[in-house]
């Protein structure tokens, strides 16, 4: 058991969100030039190699990491995350980083809302109120009923829903499997699934884009490593609020690198979603105590 160090944990979470935001920017570039399935497939090859290397170094090796009494659940988790990544990367190309992340930021609210029916957890009226306020923020971003409403805005919402379900199933799997086992199944199942669908979409890449692909793979592994270290040195409840910084970093990349714009309704909606999400995290921490 690593010694608890909340300050180091917060620093690692901030670094993780920055790395993942850079990864999203690279994904947006590559998916704008090549098939999304191919981009995610190559990313998963490196991710699976990273997962297998970590598992091989631990006591018990690959056999211990793969051991589970709930293989169907673990396989479904792996498939769900791979599909969610494909949907979110597609959202980057359709809407850009700013709007995609503004909508995606509602996933903690979805986790809170679905934790009752899926995990049997109790959600009090305060958290339900925060969830409702958060979805007002989503509606402000989506602007349903207006002439400018684009159905494409539902793509990152679908991604957020899939990621929330993945998070809940990860919690459920943790009742009987270790985090190392879940991590192993996530990487390997995702790589197999993406190879099955991605090879059919293979396109030749230019040397500069192969360099960007290498950077995408490296940032993916680095982000997962810093996240693992983060949870080793600090409690999840202490560092989770700082995960919202990914919205800030990704938006800055979208505005500066890809010349995206920040519409007033998107900024207002994102602030409401983040405030509601931070409140639900605080209530969960209080309830856990």
- Per-residue pLDDT of 97-120, as tens digits, reads 999 999 999 998 998 888 888 888
Global pTM reads 0.90
> Nearest Cα to 34, choosing from 86, 78, 109?
86
The residue assigned the tokens 């494409």 is: 152
Closest by Cα among 63, 53, 45, 88 to 190:
45
Q: What SS3 state is found at 105? A: coil
According to the model, what pLDDT value does residue 1 have?
Answer: 46
Q: Kindly report, residue by residue over 176-190, the tens digit of the pLDDT.
A: 998 889 999 999 999
H helix runs in 120-263, sequence order: 125-142, 154-173, 179-198, 207-233, 236-239, 245-256
pLDDT in tens, 188-218: 999 999 999 999 999 999 999 999 999 999 9
Which among 97, 82, 133, 89 has a CA at the least distance from the CA of 276? 133
CA distance 271 to 140: 11
CA distance 17 to 219: 11
Model confidence over 224-271: pLDDT tens digits?
Answer: 889 888 888 888 777 888 889 999 999 999 999 999 998 898 999 999
Residue 86 in contact with residue 37, Cβ under 8 Å? Answer: yes
Name the more confident of 237 and 140.
140
| Mean pLDDT across the chain | 90
């Amino acid at each position: 058991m690593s010694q608890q160090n909340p300050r180091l944990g917060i620093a690692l979470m901030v670094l993780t969100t920055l790395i993942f935001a850079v990864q999203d920017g690279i994904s947006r570039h590559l998916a704008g030039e090549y098939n999304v399935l191919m981009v995610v497939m190559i990313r998963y090859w490196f991710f699976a190699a990273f997962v297998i290397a970590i598992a091989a170094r631990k006591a018990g090796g690959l056999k211990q990491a793969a051991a589970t009494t709930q293989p169907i659940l673990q396989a479904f988790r792996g498939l769900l995350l791979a599909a969610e990544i494909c949907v979110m990367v597609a959202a980057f190309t359709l809407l850009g980083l700013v709007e995609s992340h503004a909508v995606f930021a509602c996933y903690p609210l979805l986790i809170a809302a679905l934790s009752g029916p899926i995990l049997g957890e109790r959600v009090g009226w305060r958290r339900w109120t925060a969830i409702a306020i958060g979805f007002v923020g989503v509606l402000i971003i989506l602007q349903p009923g207006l002439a400018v409403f684009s159905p494409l805005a539902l793509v990152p919402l679908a991604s957020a829903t899939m990621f929330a379900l993945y998070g809940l199933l990860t919690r459920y799997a943790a009742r009987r499997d270790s985090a190392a086992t879940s991590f192993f199944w996530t990487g390997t199942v995702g790589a197999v699934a993406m190879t099955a669908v991605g090879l059919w979409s293979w396109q030749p890449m230019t040397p500069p884009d192969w360099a960007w692909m290498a950077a995408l793979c490296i940032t993916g592994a680095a982000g997962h490593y810093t996240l693992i270290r983060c949870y080793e040195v600090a409690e999840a409840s202490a560092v989770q609020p700082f995960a919202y910084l990914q919205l800030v970093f990704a938006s800055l990349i979208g505005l500066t690198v890809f010349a995206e714009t920040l519409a007033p309704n998107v900024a207002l909606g994102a602030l409401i979603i983040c405030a509601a999400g931070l409140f639900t995290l605080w209530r969960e921490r209080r309830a856990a105590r």
